[in-house]
Structure 1
Amino acid sequence: MSFFPTGSSAVNPESGPAKVSTRTLRAAIEDALIYSFTRTNLELVLAEELQLTWTNDACDPSEADTKRALIDGYIHPWPLPQLVAFARRLDAEVEISETYLVDLRRYIDAYDRGGGVEGPTKNLIFAANGPKPDIVLQDAVSNDIEIVANAEHCLVYEQPIPAEGMRFSHLIRWWRAREGLPETLFDDRAVGHELHRRLAASLDSEAERVVFEAYAGRYKASYDIPALIPQVYLHYDPYDQRTRRGLSSGLPLARQRLDFLLLFSDRQRVVIEVDGKQHYAQGDQANPALYSEMVAEDRRLRLAGYEVYRFGGYELTQKQNSAAMVQNFFTQLAERMK
């Protein structure tokens, strides 16, 4: 089904470290496909074997005048994390010339060395709006968990997290299936609004609501962007804080829940924290111990590969144009994470 040319535009693996970007990785993917398949076979690989979605409204795949245009019609809008995920699929699932696989692997390795969290996301428990869930290990060997009480007060995304990150479009499809909302009666917009209301119900403060609603405005342009996921369980302690402090094992785990989490890819995880007085004071009295616990946990998260950004409750609720400030922050963050 494939053929390999005598000439090649692949990067020489001995030419030095690859500089991975949307442009360079897309070019490497295009070359790998162009020089590995005939035009007829390429259409089959993209549409049937890889089951990609055609994105060019101006023409059909059969009307693309070159192989590069055909490939571009499937992958052109993709950001870097999605291209990396696709390069991994080509390496694992498609018969590509080893010459071009070496090139793709160099870019994948360069991307992996760029930082982020090691290992895949396994459990996503979020949007808790009631009593703490009671979680047990159903299978400790496989790290399978089960919520045995209070499951109705939180959401659990039980599907594998896509390599390109968790997008709002993924959550919409999941919520549609979870709630049994047929496409004939509920379009994506209606499902998205219902999901938005459920997520908003988990927010703890007006300051969190400012952040959440400011980001939700970005969904008007596209649902195919990273979802802002509220109240995500990071650690889990089966005991409440009073019980834990009375045990010989010491203090409760710090920051069991994250205010917000953005999964830009399988490696790029961004934490957004909204700080009220309870983070650094007891009543109106500053508490250095609380503050030190907070910054120590920030250090731990950053060393684990997370990015952490903090908003002060005051700047979100007591200053004018706070929503515009948050929107500008998310615009800059999205640009940085490309």
Structure 2
Amino acid sequence: MSDSVPPWPWWGASEPTPSQARLVVSTRTLSAAIEEALIGTFTRAALEVVLAEELRLTWNDSEHAPSSAESKRDVIRGYTAGWSVPELVALASRLAAEVAVAPHFLGPLRELISEYERGGGVVGPTKNLIFAANGPKPEIVLRDAVNNDIEIVANADYCLVYAEPVPPEGLSFARLIQWWREREAVPRDVSDREVGLRLHNRFLESLDSPPERVLFEVYAGRYKASFDIPALIPQVYLHYDPYDQRMRRALKGPAPLARQRMDFLLLFTDRRRVVIEVDGKQHYADGTTASPSRYAAMVSEDRRLRLAGYEVYRFGGNELNGTPASKAMVEDFFEQLTERMA
């Protein structure tokens, strides 16, 4: 395969005028920009070092070594074939920030990155995923305020913490299964299915609400086809207030932060994050009396999350009654959501 660098690789043979140009972010355009930057900057020998040692990419062709590839383009594709748009964007960002790419190749890379970031989603890495508490509220302190590093100083045994970077392609149940296997030191001869079932049961322990359990179990049925889909993560801490509402009222201090926990979180990519809330009457009433202030706080927090890039979907607890019709409705919702996020 030729390693020549054609002009305008993602718009076609002829250069469009500015008014005609429409920058499309796709696996095709990203792959082209990445390949041209690497091919135009590095010799064959240097390229193999950059990909394997500096970027620490994984070679995907089990039948051939990188040295056997016919061209530099083939070397690159041996590492990146089959990658998704978020994975390619992450690589383009690393090339722009970490690797000495020739300056005239940086413009196309940065344009694609910028266009992708304009497409929505949450900006910034996912860090300190604290979730599935099945006991007292964890006590959290800032260990390093400069780096936003936290430490759970009490009740850590009752919650789960995923401290690894969320990959560009999102957080799948398959990845969580491997994390749980390592965390619990599960022997390798125990199947992924069994490990996944143990993790599923641990998640269930954090759900006290029958409607939440209905939604969770319906989604879990999707794992039968594949574990390689986004994990439905329960009871995820979004904010942290060291006091509960009763203590806040007793102290006559400011109101507690709204929605300290999300009922469920799906990470379709590292940017495309979906919050699912199951609303009981405590979300809009004090006892049996409608509470406009509770409702206002709820919708205010929804607005804040949406402006931050999250998508928020709500179910009324009464919808999730466990009947066949209710379960079919939830399954249809997840089917449509998955298609929308594809």
Same fold (TM over 0.5): yes
Paired AA for residue 246 in structure 1? A
1:46: Cα distance to partner?
4.3
- Quote the RMSD (CA, aligned, Å): 3.1
Aligned to 2:211: 207
Q: Distance in 1 between matches of 2:17 and 2:204?
A: 52
Once the two structures are superposed, the pairs formed by residues 121-270 of structure 1 within 5 Å of their partners are 121-183=126-188, 185-270=189-274
Count the aligned residue pairs: 334
3-state SS in 1 of match to 2:251:
coil
Identity of aligned residues (%): 63
The equivalent position to 2:30 in structure 1, one of 6, 18, 25, is 25
Residues 43-63 of structure 1 show CA distances to partners (whole Å, capped at 9, x for unaligned) of 665455544445568x64668
Contact 2:5 2:36 in 1 (8 A): no
Contact 1:10 1:99 in 2 (8 A): no
Unpaired runs of at least 5, structure 2:
none
The equivalent position to 2:119 in structure 1, one of 94, 114, 135, is 114
Contact 2:5 2:40 in 1 (8 A): no
3-state SS in 2 of match to 1:130:
coil
Instruction: Answer with 42-51 or 215-224: which moved more.
Output: 42-51
Q: Distance in 1 between matches of 2:133 and 2:140?
A: 13
Contact 1:13 1:106 in 2 (8 A): no
Q: Distance in 1 between matches of 2:81 and 2:332?
A: 26
Instruction: Answer with 114-123 or 296-305: which moved more.
Output: 114-123
Q: Normalized against structure 1, the TM-score is what?
A: 0.84
Paired AA for residue 274 in structure 2? V
Contact 1:164 1:264 in 2 (8 A): yes
Instruction: Answer with 210-219 or 254-263: which moved more.
Output: 210-219
Aligned to 1:276: 280
Contact 2:130 2:160 in 1 (8 A): yes
Aligned to 2:96: 91
3-state SS in 1 of match to 2:324:
coil
Q: Distance in 2 between matches of 1:92 and 1:13?
A: 28
Contact 1:244 1:252 in 2 (8 A): yes
Paired AA for residue 231 in structure 1? Q
Aligned to 2:300: 296
Unpaired runs of at least 5, structure 1:
none
Matched, 1:330 2:334: yes
1:276: Cα distance to partner?
1.7
3-state SS in 1 of match to 2:304:
helix
Q: Distance in 1 between matches of 2:176 and 2:212?
A: 20
Q: Distance in 2 between matches of 1:304 and 1:30?
A: 33
Instruction: Answer with 263-272 or 37-46: which moved more.
Output: 37-46
